[in-house]
Structure 1
Amino acid sequence: MEIGAFSVSLAVKDIHASRDFYEKLGFTQFGGDVDHHYLIMKNGDCLIGLFQGMFEKNILTFNPKWDSNAQTIAGAPDVRDIQRALKSQGVTLLEEADEATSGPAHITLEDPDGNAILIDQHV
């Protein structure tokens, strides 16, 4: 099952210090707005989201229908298709997408160790 572009969403204490640190590792700003306390940093195909004050712990994030350049992938599964596949395998979802809708939506779940996973479709 293809679940989209992968990134790590980090809950940071100081967005400016975090941006400066990741720039030293070769990351550049790809998206976001420091004035709104979030940045998306990119290095090659690696993506890191920096989020100050938005959530408590780090999140593994997947973006269905997107590649690592935020370009739409034709024919890629919708988040609702992923939701149905996970549920059919007995995976418990913490938040579900509304099956009666289309377009942007998200689902959330945790792995067996309590790591948060967000499957967040933007298109």
Structure 2
Amino acid sequence: MIKGLYEAHLPVSNLEASIEFYEKLGLRMAWRDEETAFFWMEEGRSWIGIWEGKEVETPYHPSLRHIAFRVTYEDLKQSLQWLESIGVDAVPFRNRTSVEPFIRAYQGNASVYFNDPDGNSLELMCHVEVPEHMKHLSENIILTEWEKLLEQK
């Protein structure tokens, strides 16, 4: 029955500034009205809606103000340079101090985080093949360290 995610929504304080930001990420606008804009994440398959309004004052929580964009592993390796090239700063995830992309071996994915102009949490995320003997690793591993571990096997 369910084939994937069609849409997700985030609150914003300034629609025009947010449109500029999401276009800078390479997303193409699907449609807009006076207080809302929708951008394709995967054209014809899924989009993100941004809504101008007082809801942006809702305190951040990942269940309310977070979206992860799917990228390839190779893209993730270049993510910090790409974010810098478009004037966006990566941010640490939770209690981490590093902004470097990291691997969650126990989940089989990798991420890097950044925020939109209103502090909505955005993530570039990809699937990672985890060798069976490494699936027990519970700590987050910086991507460069992960690649060193893979070379050691």
Q: Select the structure of larger CA radius of gyration.
A: 2
Larger relative contact order (Cα-Cα within 8 Å, sequence gap ≥ 6): 1
TM-score normalised over the length of structure 2 = 0.31
Of Structure 1 and Structure 2, the greater helix share is in 2
TM-score normalised over the length of structure 1 = 0.38
